[in-house]
Amino acid sequence: MSLSDARSTLGVPSLSARWRTVALLLPLAALNTGVFLVPMAYLLRLSFTARTPQGAFVEGSLSLDGYRYVAETPLVHDIFGFTLLFGVLVTALAVVVSVLYAYAAWRAAGGWRALLLGGAVLSLFTTIVVKLFAVVLVFSPRGVLNDALTELGVIASPLLLIDNLAGAVIAQLYIVVPYGVLAVYAVLSTLDDRQVEAALDLGADRPRVFREVVLPHARPGIAVAGIISFTWSVGAYPAPLLLGSGSEQTTAILVSQLLLTDFDWPAAAAVAVVTVAVVLTTLVVGLRRFASGGELLG
Amino acid sequence: MSCLAERRLRRWLFRAVVAALFGLLVLPLAIVVSTAFDASSVVTFPPTALSTRWIGELFRSPTWLRSLLNSLVVASGTTLVSMVVGTTAALALQGYDGRFRTVVVGLAVLPLLVPGVIIGVTLLTFFSRFGLQQSYAALVLAHSLWATPLTFSVMQSAFARFDWRLHEAALDLGASRVKAFRTVVVPELRAGLAVAALVGFIVSLQEFVMALFLSGPDTRTVPVEAWNSLRQSLDPLVSVVSTILLAAVVLLVVSAGALVGLDRFAAET
C-alpha cells in the first residue's frame, strides 16, 4: 500500500519522489472523480434530456426541456427567489452570531473558553435531525420557550415561531452557526494577544479594538463562515421542510419533489444544475470581493 | 465616572448576549435528553415521571436496532475509506506549496461546497444505473466525500508538526521505508490518526441529507429513521435515539479533545 511511502527529504523532488506523490494522490483523485465529478457530469447530461410522461427521461435524447421548464414556470421563479432570500437572510444572521460567539470564546479564559467551544463542537457534531427535533420542542406554540415566556408574563399568547419563515430560519441557523463559530474561531486563535494589548495601551476601548484589530484579522474566517452558511442555506432541505410552512419552499425541496414524486428527471436535473451554478457563482463573486481565494483554501 | 459605568454596562450586556446564545445552542439538546427519560407516551417537557421505559422499548424495536447497526456499518466504512484517502493525500502534499497544493486542496474541498441534497440526488440517479442505490457502498462512498476533506486537513497538520528528520535518521540507520514509517512516523502521529478517524466516524454518523436519498428500507441509518418518524409525530423513541447519538458524540469529542486538546480540535475541524 502506498501508505508505507514517505515523502522524499531531498530539497528538490526527484523523479521517483514525483511518482510517489502521484501514487499517493490516486485514492483522492479516484474518490472525487468517481463519486463526485463524473456523477456531476452525469447530472449535467441528464438535464439536457427530453421529458416524457412514460418514464423518468428519454434515454439518449438531447433537449432543452428541463431548462425550458425552469425558465417558463412562474412557480419555479418564486422558489428560486425565496431560496436566495432565505440564503442571504440566514447567512447575515449566522455571520453576526458566529463572530460574536467566536469572539466571546476567544476572549474567555480557560474553563469558560472550553465550555463555549465545547458547546459549539457538540452542536456541530449533533445530527441535523436531533437539532430539528430540539427546535420543535423548544420553539413550538406549546413548547418550552413559549411556556416559559407566558408563565413569566412576558407575552400574553404564544409566539408563532415554527411552521413559518421564522421557524425555517431558526432551524437553519442551528445547522450553520456551529460551523461559522469554529471557522471564525480558528482564525481568531492565530491573533497575537500583544497586538490587542498594544491597541488598548494606545487608548482604544474594547469596541474600537474589536472593530479595528479583531474584525480585520478575522476576515478570512468570516469569509469561510459566510461561504458555509450561504452554500448550505441555498441548498437547505430538512429545516424549511420540517419547520417552514408550504410557502417556505427551497429549490432543494423542489428537486427532490420532481425527482421522487413527479418522476421528472430532466426538470429535476435542470433545477439542480441551476442551483449549483447560482451557489458557485455567488461564491466566486463573493470571494473576489472579500478576500483572496488562495488564503481561504490554505 | 459615567464612562466607567457605561463600559461596565456594556460588558454585562455582552456577557448576557453570549450566555443567551450558549443557552440557545446547548439547552435544547439537554431538553431532548430529558424527554428520553420520561414515562409518558407523548413527548413533554418538563418530564412528568422519571422512567427508562422508552429506552427498553427502543431495544425491543427491530427497526431501530437495524438502523443502529446500519449507522455503525456505514460509519466504520466511511472511517476506513476517508482515512486511507485523507492520509495518503496529506502525505503526498508534504513538502509541496503554492499552486499545486491549492489545486489539490480545492479538489478535496469541492464536494463540501455543493448542497447535500444535490449530491444525494445526483448520486441516486448515477448509482441507480449500476443498481447501487440503497446499498451500503453508496452510503459509504457518499459520506467519504464529506469526511475526506476533514481527515485530510487533520492529517495535513499532523504531518506538518512531525519532525521529518527523525524519519531521515531511521533511514540513515538502515531501516527500510516501510519499517521507518511504521516504527518512527506512525507512533508519533498516533494522536493525529485517532482524531482523524474520530472525525470521519462522526461525520458519517450524523450525516442525514445524502443518506435520506441513498438509503433504502434495509440500509436506513439512525438519522433517516428518526426523520421518518419525526415527520409523523413526536415519538418518545426519537428522544431516546437522539440521546444515544448525543452520548456517542460527546464520548467521541471528549476522547478527541483529550488526545489533542479541545482548543486545537476546535480550531482544526
Is A106 a residue whose pLDDT tops 80? yes
Residue B268: predicted pLDDT:
62
Residue A38: predicted pLDDT:
96
Q: What is the mean pLDDT of each run of 10 residues along chain B (269 residues)?
A: 79 92 93 84 72 82 93 97 95 84 89 91 92 92 95 89 85 85 83 90 93 94 92 83 90 80 67
Residue A286: predicted pLDDT:
76
Judging contacts by C-beta atoms under 8 Å, the chain A residues touching residue B263 are 113-114, 117, 189
- Give the one of B230, B253, B263 whose C-beta lies nearest to A122's C-beta: B253
Nearest CA of chain A to the CA of B236: how many Å?
11
Q: Are A103 and A210 in contact (CB under 8 A)?
A: yes
Residue A297: predicted pLDDT:
42
Instruction: Average the pLDDT over each of A19-23, A124-128, B95-99 and give the range with the smallest value.
Output: B95-99
The pLDDT tens digits of the residues spanning A178-200 come to 999 999 999 998 888 888 889 88
Instruction: Return the residue in A57, A125, A237 with the most chain B beta carbons within 10 A, the one to mutate for interface testing.
Output: A125
Residue A205: predicted pLDDT:
84
> Which CATH superfamily hosts domain B73-268?
MetI-like (1.10.3720.10)
SS3 content of chain B, % helix, strand, coil (to 5): 80, 0, 20
Judging contacts by C-beta atoms under 8 Å, the chain A residues touching residue B202 are 125
Is A287 a residue whose pLDDT tops 90? no
DSSP line for B21-85 = HHHHHHHHHHHHHHHHTB-SSS--SS-SSB--HHHHHHTT-HHHHHHHHHHHHHHHHHHHHHHHH
Q: What is the ipTM of this complex?
A: 0.86
The better pLDDT of the pair A9, B139 is held by B139
| A 197-226 residues with CB < 8 A to B | 205-207
**Rounded Cα–Cα distance for residues B253 and B250 (Å):** 5
User: Rounded mean pLDDT of chain A?
Assistant: 87
Residue A83 banded pLDDT, cuts 50, 70, 90:
very high
The better pLDDT of the pair A260, A54 is held by A260
Domains of chain A: 79-297 (1.10.3720.10)
C-alpha dist (Å) from residue A54 to A116, A263, B130: 55, 10, 21
Is A10 a residue whose pLDDT tops 70? no
Is A239 a residue whose pLDDT tops 90? yes
SS3 content of chain A, % helix, strand, coil (to 5): 75, 0, 25
Judging contacts by C-beta atoms under 8 Å, the chain B residues touching residue A236 are 115
Q: Are B146 and B206 in contact (CB under 8 A)?
A: no
Q: Are B78 and B140 in contact (CB under 8 A)?
A: yes
Would you call A70 helix, strand, or coil by DSSP? Answer: helix
